[in-house]
Amino acid sequence: MALGDLMVSRFSQSSVSLASNHLYEKDSEATTSSIYGNGAEERDANAATSMAYLPQTLVLSQVRHNASEASPPLGTSDGIVFAPKWRLKERMKTGCVALVLCLNITVDPPDVIKISPCARIEAWIDPFSMAPPKALEAIGKNLSTQYERWQPRARYKVQLDPTHDEVKKLCLTCRKYAKTERVLFHYNGHGVPKPTANGEIWVFNKQYTQYIPLPIVELDSWLKTPSIYVFDCSAARMILNAFAELHDWGSSGSSRDCILLAACDVHETLPQSVEFPADVFTSCLTTPIKMALKWFCRRSLLKEIIDESLIDLIPGRQNDRKTLLGELNWIFTAVTDTIAWNVLPHELFQRLFRQDLLVASLFRNFLLAERIMRSANCNPISHPMLPPTHQHHMWDAWDMAAEICLSHLPQLVRDPNAEFEPSPFFTEQLTAFEVWLDHGSEHKKPPEQLPIVLQVLLSQCHRYRALVLLGRFLDMGSWAVDLALSVGIFPYVLKLLQTTTNELRQILVFIWTKILALDKSCQIDLVKDGGHTYFIRFLDSLDAIPDQRAMAAFVLSVIVDGHRRGQEACLEANLIGVCLGHLELSRPSDSQQEKFLQWLCLCLGKLWEDFVEAQIVGREANAFKKLAPLLSEPQPEVRAAAVFALGTLLDIGFGSSKSSLEDEFDDDEKIRAEETIIKSLLDVVSDGSPLVRSEVAVALARFAFGHKKHLKLAAASYWKPQSSSLLTSLPSIAKLHEAGSATIVSLQMSPLTRASTESQPVVREARISSSPLGSSGLMQGSPLSDDGIMHDSVSNGAVHQQRLFDNAVYSQCVRSMFALAKDPSPRIASLGRRVLSIIGIEQVVAKPSKPTGRIGEAATTSNTPLALSRSSSWFDMHAGNMPLSFRTPPVSPPRTNYLPGLRRVCSLEFRPHVSSSPDSGLADSFLGASGSERSLLPLSTIYNWSCGYFSKPLLSEADASQEIDTKREEKEKFALEHIAKCQHSSISKLNNNPIANWDTRFETGTKTALLHPFSPIVVAADENERIRVWNYEDATLLNGFDNHDFPDKGISKLCLVNELDDALLLVASCDGSVRIWKNYATKGKQKLVTGFSSIQGHKPGARDLNAVVDWQQQSGCLYASGEVSTVELWDLEREQLVRSIPSESECGVTALSASQVHGSQLTAGFADGSLRLYDVRSPEPLVLATRPHPKVERVVGLSFQPGLDPSKVVSASQAGDIQFLDLRTSRDTYLTIDAHRGSLTALAVHRHAPIIASGSAKQLIKVFSLEGEQLGRILYYPSFMAQKIGSVSCLAFHPYQVLLAAGAVDSLVSLYTHDNSQAR
């Protein structure tokens, strides 16, 4: 299957929306046609539809939920910041070649005894076939021609039988011409003695009567570096040893770039057999095809039918791959490249085979020299040293290819017009590569055919298949991309961007996506070669599927990421217009478009990030109006990307100079655009996804830099009416206030340096006055006081203060900043505090005296001064952070009489840092010693995190899905078996004796608890939101942790999300905050998956919300309400508020229950004892309102009855009565149980068994059947002295067993079961 087709197939599978995950598509008409439908039908369906109890919906399982919410959601370790090791430090070129031939034809050297017949051919010329001077000249000319084929642009100089001075002049001339380029020195010493042990080669005197030694030291001093030497003479390694001694290669290595190729070892002489030329080493290096074929032909069966002289007549050109000679050269290059790639370290391979064209050719040919000369008992040597390669199995592939070519040779020579048949070599090697792709992995040996794939890209006939296979390989991971880049793929795929072949477009975009996901630095090469236009054209094409165009948008986003030339080039190529055009064309909420929309936004955001000209073009094109609708998209990644694009469109105001374009763009237009942007962003400041809210915080920080003064005014007016509550909400101060302490000691503010218009620091001093706590005046000189505002006329750097929005906008911004500073996600809360610090507001936090003490208590009193912590991250704090102080400029050093228990945390440093003592060190000044305002801006994370997606395999399915399915099937089987038992078992009585008792050690008692459906685990939480997890079979504490570190505490409910899969623990707080944890049952391993505020439109830190929530797995929805006028409906798959349902009551909601088998129905109980039933599918959701409880007391517990009947509910009032209602037939109750008189505190209804339980503040638990029969009454703990149970605070049934967990105010949690089951 072609990669393009494979991609279409893969992406179409991955993009199928989970219909069951979205609210209005969930319920089948068969089961929920109406809550007033035919009851008989539904009862008959009870047994047949037991699977309805097991919802298939899975939420919060996306990639964005894998990381802990306490840390930024960065990409994987394979992220885009990978350090590129594949790039060559620098490319080299051999600029000059010196050829020195010491042949002295007709005179043999004295230390050589030649055999007869003897090898005499030099440069494929017989020196005895003509006069010696002419032969010498012809040999020199031929050798020069042979070298020129490998490096035609170099300057060649030949010296024939030279003297010492001639060699010196030649070397100095070459170095002068080459400058810093490499010089090649080729020495043929066939007519002189062997090199000496001292490292001297021989030349002649002027009369040719003596051999003159030439020391290597002198040669090295003339040629300097970089250089490469070829020594074709006997005992050539003597020279290499002399170089090694000269440059001390044996120790730490030399910095000199010096490469040597020597023909044979110390005690070896060159081959003299007539089957070889005399210069066999040089022939291998300069004419490898001819040498290889002649050598092979003599050893092949073809020698009987092929005349060796035909090899000299091979038709074609070496650089034309469509000819026989060209194809042989192409195959030879691929084989030698592959051998080198597979046996050399990658760094050495790059240096020898990729850095210099001539050096690469010589080393490829050197591998052939080693193979041929070893057959003649010679061992060529090189520096750097190469491992033996003469027996590598790829030589067999070369032999086969050579044999096939030679078999066609006679016909091609006889008939020049005969058709040339290409060799099957490359087709076979691509097949071998494909086989590796089917079975290989990162942990296996890399594919040895990778260099061949690179060579195949040069051929049009094989290119498409090679690119498809290369794409599959790159998709295996960053290691594969790094391997491909190391082998030298980059210049090939860069050049392919100049092609216009349509069939290659999708594959090339995919390959470039993989490359840029590894190495961002390629952006420079792409812009330099105009590659960006290729991707813009692809992005604008409508024939590609959205996911492929998303890749093109990703590539373009990398091109413009922090690269001004890239931004300018893409702006000029109208990338903004192309992206905005697709935003307008895209259909809202189309799951196929999600990734495309996300990357269009990210691409736009990166294009105009800190680039004024692009921002102006974007504003003129009304980009903000086209981006705003995406803020309501169902996919959180799309919403976050849209926020990023809008945020980067805001002008921060750094830099005092305006561009000419900015002058042309009307200032009023700019103000209107920015106001529209900021209003759009404020609409999503309470989004359900931390990914979105973190981007809103970053965007607000950008806005704050441009509007500090106005935001400070708004902050003062916002907090002024609450000055008393603001101070008394600080736990330490509140404690002192209650104790009668009337004053606060002088608490001084930290230094703050602001840049004035003249960029000179302006310093002022401000202190908290020693006024009584109750006084109306706040901190003098702070923005909370009029004095602090009126005298703060300092300009904020180069910000244009003329830009003034409506005051309501600034006020809303400030409220949003405070809301973010108290966000349920610690990472976003830290960002929110950082935004506040930009406008001069710091958090003051209270540190508890001990980890297990009561939250909010001050530290133990001492004279230790309040230290300004250098904590680098806000979420490292030990306790909460709610009280605020405005920070104004600077002060003297801290005094020892600071209020104990308080510490200020500098919110400006976010580098990872662990301090041994949380209170050690002093905070830096606002800007720091060497910091700049720019460094205070928090960084966006959505872009880098999104880039991580492309580093992962995109074409293959995950392997873990089968294991997950198996685990789920086991749980479903267990659940269905126990559901049947619960439905059909007769429960006569609940045993008074608990099967387990657990002392939670909660100081305020247990507030809520739940039982895990598939493990013997009970989870409990107290009013201070401490969560503890206990194994009741082993009686062991598994884990304990705090839900959050804020001082305002209050737990509302615990729920399990995805209980049939890897269950997550949902913890709802009284203030409406919802946090969802994974690994909650593993000690110290709990991680916050997500967190959000489920109730909108209230001020941060409000304690009187009394939020109530319920989770509905089938629809993937969370319902939340409280002392507000609406019921909020959250889709956790989208992480989005999808509907606010008016409660239609003046009273607050005190209980919520969502049907676990019908995803559309919800019932709510109110503080006045009334009930309301809602159908969330209907435009008018309120179906029924009734008041079943006779007394006006709040509804404490509420639940749908067990079974598939959607209309029967059980409601318990604080007055003590439990009412049973069938909302379908009558507004009146059909059964009333007076369970407790005026003291009912808890109600639990079993999900499947016909049993309910109620608890009382009067230390009593009662258990009833659905007919009202009392099945049990629990009063005492089983002990020697019958001790009464505490006031019951919570009750919870096991979902699939008749097992009741009861929590009380005295910290004990007890587990009870019915008599039919055996106690542990």
pLDDT band at residue 589, thresholds of 50, 70 and 90? low
Instruction: Give burial (CB, 10 Å; 0-12/13-18/19+) of 1125.
Output: middle
Q: Is the pLDDT reported for residue 1046 higher than 80?
A: yes
- Please report the pLDDT score of residue 89 as a whole number: 67
Q: What is the DSSP string of 807-874?
A: HHHHHHHHHHHHHHHT-SSHHHHHHHHHHHHHTTEEEEEE--SSTTS-TTPPPPP-SPPPPEE--S-G
More confident residue, 763 or 991: 991
> What is the pLDDT averaged over residues 776-783?
36
What is the structure's pLDDT at 1207? 78
Mean pLDDT for all residues in the chain: 78
What CA–CA distances, in Å, run from 374 to 190, 379, 401, 1083, 1148? 19, 6, 22, 65, 94
Give the model's pLDDT for residue 1283: 60
For 735, phi and psi rounded to 5 degrees? -65, -45
More confident residue, 41 or 997: 997
pLDDT digits (tens, 9 = 90+) for 433-487: 999 999 988 888 889 999 999 889 888 888 999 999 999 999 998 899 999 998 8
What pLDDT shows up at residue 843?
Answer: 57
Per-residue confidence band for 1041, with pLDDT thresholds at 50, 70 and 90:
very high
Q: Which residue has the higher pLDDT, 11 or 133?
A: 133
How do residues 159-178 score in pLDDT, each as one tens digit?
999 999 999 999 999 999 99
How many whole angstroms separate alpha carbon 607 and alpha carbon 557? 7
The percent of residues above 70 in pLDDT, for the chain, comes to 77
Which residues, in sequence order, are CB contacts of 34 under 8 Å at separation 6+? none
Calculate the CA 1285 to chain-centre distance. 52
Quick one: pLDDT at residue 1102?
46
Return the biggest CA–CA distance within the chain: 133
**Distance separating alpha carbons of residues 222 and 176, to the nearest angstrom:** 10
- pLDDT band, residue 1277 (cuts 50/70/90): low
pLDDT of residue 654: 55
Give residue 19's pLDDT: 34
Residue 773's pLDDT is what?
32
Choose among 623, 621, 603: nearest CA to 532. Answer: 603
Contact 771, 746 (CB under 8 A): no
Q: pLDDT class for 797, splitting at 50, 70, 90?
A: very low
Mean pLDDT highest for which of 548-562, 952-966, 1097-1111? 548-562
Instruction: Look at residue 694 in the predicted model and tell me its pLDDT.
Output: 94
Tell me what pLDDT residue 657 has.
Answer: 42
Cα-based distances in Å from 1162 to 3, 55, 311, 755, 1295:
48, 17, 89, 56, 19
| Position 802 pLDDT exceeds 80 | no
- Most confident option among 359-373, 718-732, 915-929, 1004-1018: 359-373
Indicate whether 1103 pLDDT > 60: no
Q: Would the pLDDT of 62 be above 60? A: yes
Look at residue 919 in the predicted model and tell me its pLDDT.
33
Lowest average pLDDT, out of 319-328, 372-381, 885-894, 1055-1064, goes to 885-894
| Mean pLDDT, rounded, for 1151-1162 | 85
Per residue in 412-437, pLDDT tens?
888 877 777 888 999 999 999 999 99
Burial group, residue 21, by CB count within 10 angstroms (0-12, 13-18, 19+): buried
Helix axes 346-353, 357-374, angle to 10 degrees: 110
Structure tokens at 1080: 């909650």
Compute the distance between CA of residue 945 and CA of residue 599 in angstroms, rounded to an integer. 12
pLDDT at 656 > cutoff 90 = no
- pLDDT top residue among 988 and 664: 988
Using one digit for the tens of pLDDT, what is the confidence trace for 141-163?
999 999 999 999 899 999 999 99
Which residues are registered as beta bridge partners of 903? 845
Residue 844, beta-bridge partner list: 904
Quick one: pLDDT at residue 413?
Answer: 82
CA nearest neighbour of 950 among 557, 505, 504, 414: 557
- Give the pLDDT of residue 1097: 63
* pLDDT top residue among 727 and 1045: 1045
Contacts (Cβ under 8 Å, ≥6 apart) of 520: 80, 81, 558, 561
> What are the phi and psi torsion angles at 380 (to 5°)?
-60, 145
Mean pLDDT confidence for 807-818: 90
Q: In which band, very low, low, confident or very high, does the pLDDT at 926 lie, cut at 50, 70 and 90? A: very low
The helix/strand/coil state of 748 is strand
Higher pLDDT, 95 or 727: 95
pLDDT at 1109: 94
